[in-house]
Chain A
Amino acid sequence: MSSATLPTPSTYVSGPVFAPQLRGDVADAVAWLSRRPMFIGAQTASNQSISDSSDTAVALDTEIADNQGGHQIVANQARYYAMQPGWYLAEGICPLNYTGGSGEWSVGVGGNQSGTFGIFYGTSMPNSSGFIPQAMGARLMQMVNTGTYGSGDYIAMYVRQRTAVTQNLLNGTSRFPQLTARWVCANSGTASLPVPSPAAWPSPTAIVTSAFLNAQVRDVIRFLAYPPIMEWAYTSTGQNLASQTAVPAVGTTIGLTTNTVDNYSAFNNSTNTWTAPVSGLYYCYGQVSMGGLSTNVAVAAGLTVTSANYNSGTKTTLWGDARAGTTLFQSSPVTRRRLRLNAGDTIQLAGFQRDSSSTTTNVLGSGNWTSKLITVWEAA
């Protein structure tokens, strides 16, 4: 189990540098960043019953990884209590053991942030005869009250099914409930630093200056502890999504209204465009929640990318889930990619829906269903 704490490298000044300072700055940072808090929990020993139309936390009876001891099997099985403060990327995926054709299935992530409880669902999908529905959701969650198991902020996976009767989760070989939570960024830090590219140490007769140490040690560690992350969501009303007959090369941009976190101020909610503040490999997640229509037949979510690394630089939408729409309730397709972006490249959230009556649907922005865009810098 990791015992390192979040690195806070010192600022160097002229004069001798002693081993304890380098241990505190470099060694502790390497220890932390090599084993950042992470948790993977699954349900493999049971098949939990899920009541109809009830937000239900999924019990995790199997720990695949838990390097901070934030989860226990004996109590609070559904919850991962954060032992370290920071922003965590939480992802849940869960199959329902049901092959009937009625109702819908939703999977999301919830828990306490600074003591405030909330659930946000990811995929909402219709049940189809002969088909096991498996849905997923993701969100960035800020853990503030941390360090004590059984109290404070926590992360859990929530599910909701509407088949009018109780159903069980599926516990199969390749499909089973699973929640992952991994630390991605400190709650506070220094933004707008360059992407690290640590330099070789100077050879005599050059000297190691305080400026060198601040750039090559302090700022590198500060960047890695506080990289660019962003989540904006739509939490309003009045936005509509027109029906289209086929998935277009460039999808309809979904407007986002609420800043969950954007530590590099990279999202412009006038243009609904996120601009990569620095180059790197980014985890990108998009989700479009929309109201159900009785004649809706298909939905999709995508990431509209403008980057020389994709489609020869011509703006295009990278589509993820493309699936049947929910005719009675809400539809919520998601997409998830890791994209290589240059500073200045842009991403927009894109949505698609096809209605056989060509009816426009509304984009959801209240309750447990929202549209959202997430980006997390992962590597140079």
Chain B
Amino acid sequence: MIPGGDFHPILFAIVALWVIVCALGVVLSKKIMYSAVAMVFCFLGVAFAYALLHAELLAVMQIMVYVGAISIVVIFAIMLTDEKEGGLELFFNRATIAAGGLALAAAAVVIGAIVADDLEGVVEKTRNPAVKELSRLLFEGYVFPFELISLVLLAALVGAVVLTRKLEGRR
């Protein structure tokens, strides 16, 4: 008995393949713009994964924030910095092979731990409307972090403006 109820192996396989191929595209593609496009598709895949996990609100937020906002910022940055070569400068030398080995080994350890451990849950399922529960959590238990986030975003906004402002006076 799977404690996720409706786990669709085929849908999962599609999403997993999609996400992993796109993530590898981000990391491996020669041009930065291709990386950015792969990132957009990767985040779409993750949004689909959220929807499969019955976190529909999060799927919508994922599309709005990542696919909508963050991608635009990244693509603007790519166009503003105008780097001609973006490619695999470092590929297949010692540093890359070491990094790849390190990432693979760490992934093997974590996935091995996941597989070896018995995660079969004890909690029985009650499918509440997730959004209702989320709003309850958000505005009852976690009001303070929620309000703090707005402060962080404001600070980031001001900080970004300050950082990118031209500093004529100082030079």
| A and B interact | no
Residue numbers of A with Cβ under 8 A of B are none
Residue numbers of B with Cβ under 8 A of A are none
